Structure 1
Amino acid sequence: MKNYPLAIPVCQLDENNFFTGITCADLDPLEGGGHYLIPRLCIQTDEPEQKKGFIPQWNNGQWEYIEDHRGETVYFKNTGIKQIIVALGKLPDDVTTFAPAPFTEWSEEAAAWVDVVNADKLRLQDKKEKAGTITRSQLLTAIELQFGKNKKELLNIAERELVGDHLIKVRNVISEAQSFTLMNDDMWDFLTQTLNISNEQIFVLWDEAKKNY
Structure 2
Amino acid sequence: MKDYPLNIPVCQLDEDNYFVGMTTADLDPVVKNGHYLIPRLCIEAGKPEYKNGFIPQWNDGQWEYIEDHRGEAVYLKKTGEKRIIEVLGKLPDDVTTLAPLPFTKWSEDAGAWVDVDNADELRLQDKKEKAGIITRSQFLTAIELQFSKNKKELLDIAERVLVGDHLIKIRNVILEAQSFTLMDDDMWDFLTQTLNISNEQIFVLWDKAKKNY
Partners in 1 of 2:154 and 2:163 — Cα distance?
Answer: 14
CA-to-aligned-CA distance 1:13-66 (integer Å, 9 cap, x gap) = 000100000011111111112211100000001000111111110000000111
Q: Which position in structure 2 is the counterpart of 1:71?
A: 71
Q: Which position in structure 1 is the counterpart of 2:51?
A: 51
Partners in 2 of 1:138 and 1:177 — Cα distance?
Answer: 12
Q: Which position in structure 2 is the counterpart of 1:61?
A: 61
Per the normalisation by structure 2, the TM-score is: 0.98
Q: Which position in structure 2 is the counterpart of 1:161?
A: 161
Partners in 2 of 1:65 and 1:138 — Cα distance?
Answer: 64
| Runs (5+) with no aligned partner, structure 1 | none
Per the normalisation by structure 1, the TM-score is: 0.98
Aligned-pair Cα RMSD in Å: 0.8
Q: Which position in structure 2 is the counterpart of 1:102?
A: 102
Q: Which position in structure 1 is the counterpart of 2:185?
A: 185
Partners in 2 of 1:121 and 1:136 — Cα distance?
Answer: 26
Partners in 1 of 2:206 and 2:123 — Cα distance?
Answer: 17
Q: Which position in structure 1 is the counterpart of 2:80?
A: 80
User: One-letter code of the match for 1:86?
Assistant: E
Partners in 1 of 2:186 and 2:87 — Cα distance?
Answer: 53
Partners in 2 of 1:81 and 1:143 — Cα distance?
Answer: 41
Q: Which position in structure 2 is the counterpart of 1:133?
A: 133
Seq. identity, %: 81
User: One-letter code of the match for 1:33?
Assistant: N
Q: Which position in structure 1 is the counterpart of 2:119?
A: 119
1:8 is paired with a residue whose SS is: strand
Q: How does 1:17-56 map to 2 (within 5 A)?
A: 17-56=17-56
The alpha carbon displacement at 1:3 in A equals 2.4
Partners in 1 of 2:148 and 2:20 — Cα distance?
Answer: 72
The alpha carbon displacement at 1:111 in A equals 0.1
The alpha carbon displacement at 1:139 in A equals 0.3
The alpha carbon displacement at 1:4 in A equals 1.9
User: One-letter code of the match for 2:134?
Assistant: I
1:10 is paired with a residue whose SS is: strand
User: One-letter code of the match for 1:159?
Assistant: E
Partners in 1 of 2:172 and 2:7 — Cα distance?
Answer: 90
The alpha carbon displacement at 1:113 in A equals 0.1
User: One-letter code of the match for 1:58?
Assistant: W
Q: How does 1:142-157 map to 2 (within 5 A)?
A: 142-157=142-157
Partners in 2 of 1:210 and 1:62 — Cα distance?
Answer: 67
Greater mean deviation of Cα atoms: 114-123 or 2-11 = 2-11
User: One-letter code of the match for 1:91?
Assistant: L
1:130 is paired with a residue whose SS is: helix
